[in-house]
Amino acid sequence: MTRSDVGFDSAGVRIAAHLYTPDPSGTPAPGPWPALVVGHPGTGVKEQTAGTYARRMAERGFVTLAFDAAHQGESGGLPRGLEDPAQRVEDFKAAVSYLTTRAEADPDRIGLLGICASGGYALTAAGSDHRVKALATVSPADVARQFRLGADGTQDPAVFRSLLDAAARARTAAARGEDPGVMTVFPETAEEAGALGGEHGIEGFEYYRTPRGRHERSARFLAWESIDRLAAFDAFHAVPLIGDRPLLQIVGERAVTSWMAVEAHQRATGPRELHWIEGASHVDLYDKKQYIDPAVDKLTTFFTAHLAANA
């Protein structure tokens, strides 16, 4: 398996990516191979869990492309730290377009693999891009729902209203030539993270802010205009458009976000499966080997079946 630094354009923004190519000696057939676009969690970068899954799936015989979202990581785009759902969906489609230009990848056998927030964006992208033949998610979340309703779906509506107030103030400040400031993603301590987001908040802190998963380019803040762009977004509205293309969602048994996977599953109209990983939480599926191993096995079985040469 080899990894190459590559790039492509997405709605005028240059996207930085890693292309993973299987070792020809370890695959049953020469290329071109089936290919996967792998999207990272919200605030993540391609070197973290997206890169882990991309590498593992390349070892199983798939060409994989892990990329940094526009405005984040090594990708271009201003302001930095912008979470723009329309752009995030376009990034997936642009990644598919890029794979169709690569000799290693079979343009008729391309799938999407979205992790956390990218799971939601991948659902939207696949619904309107018929080049995508199969779709899988790991710990899927609609980040807009998470902001509006909380990770567990029980957040007081006043919390999001206060965020919209702050976003409005930031836009006004920017219009006046003042510093609009940014929204801090994680507080300074695990205790503060727990007070804000319970166990899920602590898990996110432990992955992104400690040596366990920390990366220098992982987002530490979001531009305030992210909030009002997310306000009316619905990652699941296009799920029925996936139609008869297969959908697999891999969910931790203890994930507080699992209600979102269930909702997406209920909206799907074609072949669909909710696959539960025993004992795992949402973030456990980012990097813990005892949970990633069975997830990768399931993904391999799924994509091998549905991106087969005669599929």
CA–CA distances in Å: residue 173 to residues 83, 178, 262:
19, 5, 40
Q: Which residues of 282-303 are buried (b: 16+ CB within 10 A; e: fewer)?
A: bbbbbebeebbeebbebbbebb
User: pLDDT tens per residue, the chain (311 residues)?
Assistant: 899 999 999 999 999 999 999 988 776 677 799 999 999 999 999 999 999 999 999 999 999 999 999 999 999 999 999 999 999 999 999 999 999 999 999 999 999 999 999 999 999 999 999 999 999 999 999 999 999 999 999 999 999 999 999 999 999 999 999 999 999 988 888 888 887 788 888 999 999 999 999 999 998 899 999 999 999 999 999 999 999 999 999 999 999 999 999 999 999 999 999 999 999 999 999 999 999 999 999 999 999 999 986 55
Residues 6+ apart with CB under 8 A from 30: 24
- For tokens 């979340």, name the residue: 141
Domains and CATH numbers, the chain: 2-142+233-306 (3.40.50.1820), 188-218 (no CATH)
Task: Provide the residue type at 243 as one letter.
Answer: G
The token pair at 306 is: 């549905």
Q: Whole-angstrom Cα distance, residue 65 to residue 4?
A: 10
68 touches 45 (CB < 8 A): yes
4 touches 21 (CB < 8 A): yes
Does the pTM surpass 0.85? The reply is yes
Terminus-to-terminus CA distance in the chain, angstroms? Answer: 25
